[in-house]
Amino acid sequence: MKKFLSLSLSLSLLVITTAAQSLSIEEAVLGQYNEFYPEGLQALQWLSAEDHYSYIDEDVLLIKDTRGKLIDEVSLDELRKAFPKQSGGEAPEMKSFPGIHWLADGTFRYRYNEAWYIHNPIDGSANKWTDIPQGDNHKLHEATGNMAFTRDNNVWVNLNEVEQQVTDLPEGVTAGQAIARYEFGITEGLFWSEDGLYLAFYEKDERNVTEYPLVDHNSETSTMRSLRYPMAGQQSEFAACGIYNLAKRSVTYLNVNERRRDDSYYITNLAWAPDGSLTAALVNRQQNEMRLVRFDADSGEPLDVLFVESDEKYVEPENPPLFIPRSKGDFLWISERDGFDNFYRYDANGQLLAKTDLNFPIASFIGFDEKGRKAFFEAHGPSPIETHLYVLDLRSMKTTKVSSTEGTHSGQLSASGRYLIDRFSNIETPGITRIISSNGKITTELHRSENPLADREIGETELLTINADDGTELWARLIKPKEMDPDKSYPAVVYVYNGPHVQLVSNRWMAGAPLWMHHLAAEGFVVFTLDGRGSAHRGKDFEQAVFRQLGTVEMEDQLAGVGYLRSLPFVDPERIGVHGWSFGGFMTSSLMLRKPGVFKVGVAGGPVIDWRLYEVMYTERYMDTPQENPQGFERADLTNYIEQLEGALMLIHGDIDDIVVMQHSMKLIKAAVDAGVQLDFFVYPGHPHNVRGKDRVHLMTKVINYLKAHLEI
């Protein structure tokens, strides 16, 4: 028998006083991160040189100490007047205060047009620092002002205002950009050494990867562009890492796998060590082994393998080594090899010295104090739906929680490491920003956000737990219509994702729910979301439960959620629908086809239909290859279940989707035609994987209208 547990009223129920009007779909979609997003302090940040902070208030940059005392200020008019004469003489027409970045000498950098400028708030002087060259992926070396960037598919550098081309690559080979389709925590492709004498860069050779056609129908005659898209089990990109020596103006490449260019490995998590060597986490294509290797920057030859990490299912390094200041090359490594993320302290030679003993995941690393004695991080614990700030004593490897209020916290560390800016919210609190000391003592409250939805009708939101069939505790969110009629039963919509790296349910403002759900609730729906096994922030066993069987365990957990919904007296068990996007589109389609009759209607956006058609890096981590796991791929291929469809199912796809390619929807539609099964289908021209901007209003209107039509509301 399943157990249903609801959090106490003080934590889980959001009750907003009687409002004047309901939230329109236009307001919900376009106002999500604008007028209905809790206001905070603009551009709040620590100074780099001392424990002062700054923020922008009505075009004035205010600089204050940790007690909130005003130290200095710079107005937009002062910034204009100080604009360097050599850059045109006249004050620029800046319409608002630009974004700034504090430098170690107490000055700040800002961008105007295509150049960087330095402003000194002490004497009011300003100078042009460097031009921003034409290109993309600009990466600045702070100490020298040298700039690395990409132009087309090559790496360039701008040294003392002189451009130099670093690579000269043929079509199909790209350098200086993220590789592996942004997996393994990879977000960029350029990495300066600390002294600025070397530049490391990723390179990928995709000439062996299948060219996938994307057709743009917006021109008078449709045009086609090719996308290199490696599908599961097919040839993937060849990864490489180059190092540019600025003094010699030469490039050498890391000797990985005996310099063979093949697709049997991934190069991930690059980091420059204090001794000038470059470390890289090398992952085999099977993704069950990782080697952390140290390379010589001049020769590219491996110096040593610091350690090896393996797992019978998969390993997934997502953070580079974190080198500890004022140590002899010691570093922290984040791994969930023991079940949950922990910090492992190694010396420069890869000898394990100590580890933490956490039983919850690490969310992100914040930084070290200036003496290298403490490290600060965010973690999903003690509750998996919250994020708290922690300090790690690097001698004892003991951790201490320094945030106190229940909810979701994010931290920003001061120059000395003695203070943190703590931003947090919870289901009842739109947002509070404080300065706390490194031991958790509240020093100053900087800002308290007002409720941006105070004049809108918003129903109750509840956070609760449900037990899966095996007893695993699952977190869920329930949104109810405002002022429910006790004699009435309401239709319900399950919004689903339930895939890796995503958590939908959290103790933050609005419980993490997008505003369109509250519009849907105002239309008379109960809206439900559950994070089942496979989703994020619950540890290795919880996440790996889906290995080689994507969709199977997740469906069982979603059905446990449906069982809870059906137990509620105000939910009509015959009128339940499901909606999701991307992995959620896969889950929506799976539930409609593999569990027929549970849902009356489904709307699947950008759905994966057959994992053989999805990208190599992601799919092979969770499913292995189609050759190694044919039964798992066949079981998850949703075209095999098309004849089981009961109820209405709509597929929605962007016609230039480069993440989940259109072929997925087309394959299911073809199966439906062959089987004589009726499906609904809608395409968003010119949109990739997500439909954004004003067209998103059209999308959500279509989704909601389809749900309303088939759930008879």
Task: State the DSSP H helix or E strand holding residue 30, giving kind and residue range, or none if neither.
Answer: helix 25-30
Confidence band (pLDDT; 50, 70, 90) for 330? very high
Q: In what order do the strands lie in the sheet with 461-467?
A: 4-6, 461-467, 473-479, 526-531, 490-495, 571-581, 601-605, 648-654, 680-684
Closest CA to 364 of 354, 356, 376, 353: 376
What percentage of the chain carries pLDDT values higher than 90? 89
Cα angle for residues 445, 450, 454 (degrees, 5° grid):
160
In 488-637, beta strands by DSSP E: 490-495, 526-531, 571-581, 601-605
Each residue's pLDDT tens digit, 51-96: 999 999 999 999 999 999 999 999 999 999 998 865 555 566 788 9
Q: What is the DSSP code (8-state) at residue 389?
A: E
Distance separating alpha carbons of residues 713 and 707, to the nearest angstrom = 9
CB 435 within 8 A of CB 412: no
Which candidate in 138, 447, 689, 698 is catalytic?
689
Which candidate in 403, 657, 664, 710 is catalytic?
657
Joined together, the tokens standing for residue 652 give 């929605």
Joined together, the tokens standing for residue 169 give 């690559």
Judged against a pLDDT cut of 60, whether residue 359 lies above it is answered with yes
Which candidate in 193, 403, 425, 582 is catalytic?
582
Each residue's pLDDT tens digit, 648-667: 999 999 999 999 999 999 99
> What is the pLDDT at residue 120?
95
Each residue's pLDDT tens digit, 475-528: 999 999 988 998 899 999 999 999 999 999 999 999 999 999 999 999 999 999
- 689 counts as catalytic: yes
CB atoms within 10 A of CB 127: 14
What CATH number belongs to 166-320? 2.140.10.30
Joined together, the tokens standing for residue 79 give 């910034």
Confidence band (pLDDT; 50, 70, 90) for 635? very high
Cα–Cα distance list, 636 to 325, 395, 431, 651 (Å) = 48, 48, 42, 17
CB atoms within 10 A of CB 468: 20
> What is the pLDDT at residue 86?
57
Q: What is the DSSP code (8-state) at residue 387?
A: B
Joined together, the tokens standing for residue 333 give 């490594």
> What is the pLDDT at residue 8?
34
Each residue's pLDDT tens digit, 656-695: 999 999 999 999 999 999 999 999 999 999 999 999 999 9
CB 547 within 8 A of CB 680: no
Task: State the DSSP H helix or E strand holding residue 392, giving kind and residue range, or none if neither.
Answer: strand 388-393
Closest CA to 496 of 569, 559, 433: 559
Sole residue written with tokens 């004050």 = 91
Cα–Cα distance list, 641 to 532, 546, 576 (Å) = 23, 20, 20
Average pLDDT over residues 340-362: 98
**Average pLDDT along the chain:** 94
Judged against a pLDDT cut of 70, whether residue 431 lies above it is answered with yes
Average pLDDT over residues 314-322: 98
Domain ranges of the chain: 18-37+454-710, 40-141, 166-320
Distance separating alpha carbons of residues 525 and 217, to the nearest angstrom = 37
> What is the pLDDT at residue 530?
98
* CATH superfamily of the 18-37+454-710 domain: Alpha/Beta hydrolase fold, catalytic domain (3.40.50.1820)
Confidence band (pLDDT; 50, 70, 90) for 9? very low
* Segments in 316-472 forming alpha helices (H): none
CB atoms within 10 A of CB 622: 24
Average pLDDT over residues 438-462: 94
Confidence band (pLDDT; 50, 70, 90) for 259? confident
CB atoms within 10 A of CB 202: 24
Distance separating alpha carbons of residues 297 and 94, to the nearest angstrom = 43
What percentage of the chain carries pLDDT values higher than 70? 96
Average pLDDT over residues 327-333: 96
Average pLDDT over residues 311-328: 97
Sole residue written with tokens 């439900």 = 528
> Which phi and psi angles does 695 have, rounded to 5°?
-65, -20
> What is the pLDDT at residue 155?
98
Residues 6+ apart with CB under 8 A from 177: 137, 150, 188, 189, 202, 204
Q: What is the DSSP string of 263-298?
A: SSEEEEEEEE-TTS-EEEEEEETTSSEEEEEEE-TT
> What is the pLDDT at residue 409?
98
Q: What is the DSSP code (8-state) at residue 339?
A: S
CB 147 within 8 A of CB 136: no
Each residue's pLDDT tens digit, 16-56: 344 458 899 999 999 999 999 999 999 999 999 899 999 99
CB 109 within 8 A of CB 128: no
Closest CA to 329 of 276, 393, 366: 276
Distance separating alpha carbons of residues 435 and 426, to the nearest angstrom = 18
Closest CA to 589 of 512, 671, 656: 671
Q: What is the DSSP code (8-state) at residue 257?
A: G
Residues 6+ apart with CB under 8 A from 570: 480, 484, 486, 488, 489, 490, 526
Return the axis-axis angle of helices 552-567 and 583-594, rounded to nearest 10°.
70
Confidence band (pLDDT; 50, 70, 90) for 205? very high
- Can you tell me whether residue 359 is helix, strand or coil? coil
Joined together, the tokens standing for residue 165 give 């081309």
Joined together, the tokens standing for residue 634 give 């066949």
Lowest-confidence region among 9-18, 109-118, 600-609, 671-680:
9-18
Cα–Cα distance list, 185 to 9, 188, 216, 291, 317 (Å) = 38, 9, 30, 16, 8
Cα–Cα distance list, 97 to 7, 112, 622 (Å) = 44, 10, 46
